[in-house]
Structure 1
């Protein structure tokens, strides 16, 4: 056997060993799950008046009250008012069936109103050009169920409005028509 042929055999053997080590390393590596959030306690699948999917709001109970993780699809750039409404019904085209804002304490509307705010008053959703609307919202001191809770006998709905909420005008912040609505239901769905 010549030195050249020994070198070729060694190179082939080294390549085989390196390949085996690479494969064994991959076999022991588990892929991390894509979604690391726990399943929500409730959710609302959002639709517009024509029935098109406009996003989803996932609701979680936490130590301070409730947290909403929102993904809004199909909205142009702009600012949109959004609220939790008092009735779990979303009848198109105007979604008036969702009732007024969730307001178990009888407050006035708006975070900037000295007599406010409703439990269902939320910050505005700002959608940037070429982006999907995303927001993490907190309802501090809000209950999930029970007396004055989100999921009472007639349920609740998540609504996105056509324009921005001015955060002070009672009862709705002059946020315009309701352009997307989703009934809040227990669990994470499918």
Structure 2
């Protein structure tokens, strides 16, 4: 009788030890998965390499009036802009050739960003400038929350038409709509807001 009990006890202990052995064998797999996950997060080809930048635009009084978030997309640089205290209606919106926003008129930003030496405007057969973008629509309450794409520029440094030139670039909002054809800047009126890219 004692021998039978002893055999049962030995078998029970063997089953428990075998189960523990299975669990310990699976632990390295879990740890290995965790390591792989960490490696994936640090992969240089991952989303961390997608350029993104927030540009603050000031008005002619030097007050913050808008924020533009730039991100590299499949077909150019996406620009998401939010702002307030702007004149309602369609307003011209461009990248300019110099990263400078000196008050009160922002003339320090130079002309439109135009590395290809093209004419201004989407409706000009020899245009547009690389820095030309569609007009933005400001609501009656002076706010704007919209997105547009500049399909001829890039946020990749040292590439053609990069926004990160030696002189830098700037984002400008104008007081009137760009007509997409008048030279040199679409008859878009005064510069009412400016933000330096890469600042």
* Residue pair 2:85, 2:142 contacting (<8 A) in 1 also: no
Q: What's the CA shift for 1:174?
A: 0.5
Mapped pair 1:58 → 2:61:
no
Mapped pair 1:119 → 2:120:
no
TM-score normalised to structure 2 length: 0.70
Q: Which of 149, 164, 168 is residue 155 of structure 1 equivalent to?
A: 168
RCO comparison, higher one (Cα < 8 Å, 6+): 1
Q: What's the CA shift for 1:43?
A: 2.5
Q: What's the CA shift for 1:148?
A: 2.8
Mapped pair 1:167 → 2:180:
yes
Paired residue for 1:70?
Answer: 81
Mapped pair 1:137 → 2:138:
no
RMSD (Å) for aligned C-alpha atoms: 1.8
Q: Which of 78, 91, 106 is residue 95 of structure 1 equivalent to?
A: 106
Secondary structure of 1:58's counterpart equals strand
* Residue pair 1:53, 1:73 contacting (<8 A) in 2 also: no
TM-score normalised to structure 1 length: 0.73
Q: What's the CA shift for 1:141?
A: 3.9
List gaps (5 residues or longer) in structure 2.
Answer: 1-47
List gaps (5 residues or longer) in structure 1.
Answer: 1-37
Higher helix content, 1 or 2: 2
Q: What's the CA shift for 1:76?
A: 3.0
Q: Point out the structure with max Rg over C-alpha.
A: 2
Secondary structure of 1:171's counterpart equals coil
